[in-house]
Amino acid sequence: MTEPLVTIAVPSFNQGRFLDDALASIFQQDIPLEVFVLDGGSSDNSLDVIRKWAHRLAGWRSHADAGQAAAINEGIAQGRAPYVCWLNSDDWFLSGGLAKLVSELEKSPEAPAVYGRCWDVIEKSGKRKPVWVEPFNEDRLAFRCIISQPATLIRRSAWEAVDGLDETLHMAMDYDLWWHLFKSLGALHFVDDFVAVNREHVDTKTRNQRHRHYREAMAVVRKYHGSVPLKWWLAQPYSVWFRSIAGYLQQNRRQGG
């Protein structure tokens, strides 16, 4: 039996309408894989989809868990392949996408991870546009997340060196991981080719929890970069800005008193 090159964790919760597409895109890749589906106890048709693919999966489970980051860590820990990634159940890989990332990672031994370009597809209209992705640069990473998660591949050794995802985060766990890998092991390597698709739909977390997303992302930038670019303050939802400024002023008053 061929040893797997990539371990893929697929976290999912009540997204059976997308899960089949995600798994189909994984098993269409032309490299040996091991795939673990971590379902959070869905009440829709997710279990039917999982059972359809069960003969191809290295493992799966369905029960309440501690959240997306914890589920991803759990799945990747069960694997043994030298490269790892996760694919959210509402995203999918382009044909040959993973093989491109594996090839680039093997040609870049100094890089802890590689990332390519990604399409953003709006479910309702079917329109697509490229996700904003750039060659790696610390100042640009502080300005915005220039890495698209579905289009990334990470060395298992690097993943384990930083202990995977921070399970206390629920919105910016991927952004935190890119920073952690960079600060601990070096720059991530950019692949100038489209390898994956990010699906935008009415239940997308970043669409429905923008306040939480900005709070977490700004905390990540402050943690690793030391300061938060003005852009974050100007672009975030007003209520987030107002609470952040109020907290800052309150802290200054306490220190001054």
Say what the pLDDT of residue 213 is.
83
How far is it, in rounded angstroms, from Cα 171 to Cα 121?
20
- The pLDDT of 178-197, averaged and rounded, is 98
Say what the pLDDT of residue 208 is.
44
- The pLDDT of 133-157, averaged and rounded, is 97
Q: Where are the beta strands (DSSP E) in 40-112?
A: 59-62, 83-86, 92-93
Q: Tell which residue, 191, 110, 153, has the closest CA to residue 5.
A: 153
Say what the pLDDT of residue 257 is.
44
How far is it, in rounded angstroms, from Cα 139 to Cα 142?
5
- Complete domains list, the chain, with CATH: 6-256 (3.90.550.10)
To the question of pTM greater than 0.75 for the whole model, the response is yes
Residue 238 has pLDDT above 80, yes or no: no
Residue 235 has pLDDT above 80, yes or no: no
**Ramachandran region of residue 163, left (φ > 0), alpha (ψ -120 to 50) or beta?**
left
How far is it, in rounded angstroms, from Cα 60 to Cα 46?
12
Say what the pLDDT of residue 251 is.
52
- The pLDDT of 43-70, averaged and rounded, is 96
Q: Tell which residue, 78, 80, 77, 73, has the closest CA to residue 1.
A: 80
- The pLDDT of 74-79, averaged and rounded, is 98
How far is it, in rounded angstroms, from Cα 164 to Cα 161?
8
Say what the pLDDT of residue 232 is.
74
Question: Which of 114-128, 170-184, 192-206, 226-240 has the lowest average pLDDT?
Answer: 226-240
What tens digit of pLDDT does each residue of 110-123 get? 999 999 999 999 87
Residue with tokens 């938060």: 228
Residue with tokens 């370009």: 117
How far is it, in rounded angstroms, from Cα 8 to Cα 65?
18
Give the residue, 238 or 123, on which the prediction is more confident: 123
Parallel, antiparallel, or unpaired: how do β-strands 6-12 and 152-155 relate? unpaired
Helix (H, G, I), strand (E, B) or coil at 17: helix
Question: Which of 33-47, 61-75, 202-216, 232-246 has the lowest average pLDDT?
Answer: 232-246
Question: Which of 58-72, 96-110, 125-139, 167-181 has the lowest average pLDDT?
Answer: 125-139
